[in-house]
Structure 1
Amino acid sequence: MSSEAGLLLRLAGPLQSWGERSKFNERDTAPFPTRSGVIGLLAGALGRRRGEDIGDLARLSLTVRADRPGVLLRDLHTVGGGLPARHTVTTAEGKKRPAAAATLLSHRHYLADAVFTVALTGPADLLQTCAAALREPFWPPYLGRRSCPPEGPLLLGEFDDVHRHLLDLPLARTRRGAAGTVPVVFHSDRPLTHLAPAAADTDSGSEPAGQVNDQPLNFHPHRRAYQSRARYQRTLHLPADRCHGLGADYLKALAAYLAPHPTRPEGTPA
């Protein structure tokens, strides 16, 4: 396994929503944090306004560990119902909708009770800047949508061997049965052979599992642009004793793990 310096983030909360193909009244979510969503979180923490250059952030690499994939939740919203005509939804032509069609339905999808651990790698100076911003964010971070704030620690630290820690970090899930290992799914924007030797599992993650349109080019509210990129996926069977349940038990195990480990790349000034 290659040694790379990077950041570890913990993306957890009651609700998350990582839009992948959202259009108009249908707001979907991917089953894992998207590149555009995580890069947007970093941009907000750094205080970058929509339309500002994000080329440096777009060059960061993300590897996601799905500690707990969560449960898909659909929320039904209504807009414009029961209001006077002048206050109802405006059409694309600038007119008001007729009374019989004034109420719009919006289906919004979320991941409930999901937990993901994300490894970010890239230029050391940029990672240090991002870490400082996450410790004192310019704008509050959120998990895909403003209505989805994170809970617990968001930034776990800066590590000089980030992918080893991504494998070793306690898992936020309950151990079930007497099996010695648990299957854990990883997602990345590059081949996942950097996590462990191919012989560790039959699935090496060396070939793309599909394409996703989540590489952000511009976050401008009127000119948002994304590019397609390859998505890699791999399932590794990790030791079951890394499962530390939910809530306080997991947070205690996480704190105990982080305490003796250096959380800053070697040579980085304090």
Structure 2
Amino acid sequence: MPRHLLLVLEGPLLAFGGEVVDARGVVGDFPTASLLIGLLANALGWRRGERERHARLQARLVFAARIDREGERITDFQTAQLGKDDRGWTTSGTPEERAGGPGTYAAPHIRLRDYDADKRVTVALRLDPAGEAPDLEALAAALESPARPLFLGRKTCLPSRPLLGGLVEAEGLLAALASLPPEPAVGLWRILLPATEPTLLGDERRWAGDLRDWHSGVHGGGRTVLIRHLAPPRPDAASDDRGQAAEAGTCP
């Protein structure tokens, strides 16, 4: 059976970036492919300029995401009076400098940023082809001992727990997700799946603009995904029944 890597994305604030318009930084319900690639690349110690590495890893990525706890959507109104000599913090340790003439800094910088507070999402991913470097074992090792600090969307969104949920062998993405159920399971799970997965009655097909063109440095691509509502297995269900039910999209 294929091996899958499990991630648990949980923190006081998460920001799964959406399509930004002007000064409004919106977020989506599910992590994007580009977010996961950036997270894994940061753990591996890759630099942003290593475009081919990022692009190849994104092309190999196959993943599903399950919302275990919805959290609360909040909007932060931010203002800052910035000067030319102000410096920005970066994970590389090198301060980020600013450019522009004196008039650039005459007015405060105003923006809105959305966040999800107290949210938890489980991700199951595999790589195709599996034997190419980096493999899942290399990714798991990097997440256990990351080369740089990791964050969940924005630098202020620090995880509240280790991200690595383990490596599992499972017949598919749903079975891999079912191997790490939330405690306690509340209501229906909302799950994002690749459009290549078998479709069930009630699945919603949605366009996700979550692919980054790593060569140009902008988000310039997307894909069709499935959104599925799935009842969690009963706490007293046998583990075998749980895996079969998750794979079939039903509750035992």
**Equivalent position amino acid for 1:167 in 2:** A
- Asked if 1 retains the 8 angstrom alpha-carbon contact of 2:5 and 2:165, the reply is yes
TM-score by length of 2: 0.76
For 1:25 and 1:148, how far apart are their aligned partners in 2?
19
- 1:73 aligned residue: 74
1:92-121 CA-to-partner distances (Å, cap 9, x unmatched) read: 97451485xx12321000010100000011
Shift in Å, 1:226: 3.0
Query: Is 1:134 aligned with 2:143?
Result: yes
Secondary structure in 2 aligned to 1:151? coil
Residue 96 of structure 1 corresponds to 103
1:25 matched to 2:31? The reply is no
1:45–1:93 Cα change, 3 Å: closer
Correspondence for 1:169 among 140, 158, 180 = 180
User: 5+ unaligned residues in a row in structure 1: which ranges?
Assistant: 176-181, 243-256, 258-270
Q: What is the rounded CA distance, in whole Å, between the counterparts of 1:92 and 1:24 in structure 2?
A: 20
Contact 2:68 2:185 in 1 (8 A): no
CA distance 1:147–1:224, shift in 2 (3 Å): same
| CA–CA distance in structure 2, aligned partners of residues 132 and 23 of structure 1 | 37
Q: Deviations over 1:151-172 (max 9, x none)?
A: 1231111111163231242214
Give yes or no for the alignment of 1:224 onto 2:208. Answer: no
Q: Tell me the secondary structure at the aligned position of residue 158 of structure 1.
A: strand
**Runs in 1 of length 4+ with deviation above 6 angstroms?**
none
**Pairing 1:57–2:53 present:** no
Distance 1:172 1:143 in 2: 21
Residue 145 of structure 1: how far off its partner (Å):
0.8
1:108 pairs with one of 110, 113, 116 = 113
TM-score of the pair, normalised by structure 1: 0.71
Q: Contact between 1:11 and 1:150, CA under 8 Å: does it hold in 2? A: yes
Say whether the 8 Å CA contact 1:219–1:225 is kept in structure 2: no
Indicate the RMSD between aligned Cα atoms, in angstroms. 2.8
Identical-pair percentage: 33
Q: CA deviation at 1:193?
A: 2.7
Task: Figure out how many residues of one structure are paired with residues of the other and give that number.
Answer: 217
Larger Rg computed on CA atoms: 1
Q: How does 1:178-257 map to 2 (within 5 A)?
A: 182-193=187-198, 198=200, 202-203=201-202, 205=203, 209-218=205-214, 223-241=217-235
Gaps of 5+ in 2: 87-97, 240-252
Deviations 1:17-47 (A, max 9, x none): 0111124421111111111111110010011
2:208 and 2:225 in contact (8 A); partners too: yes
Q: How many angstroms apart in 1 are the aligned matches of 2:21 and 2:80? A: 16
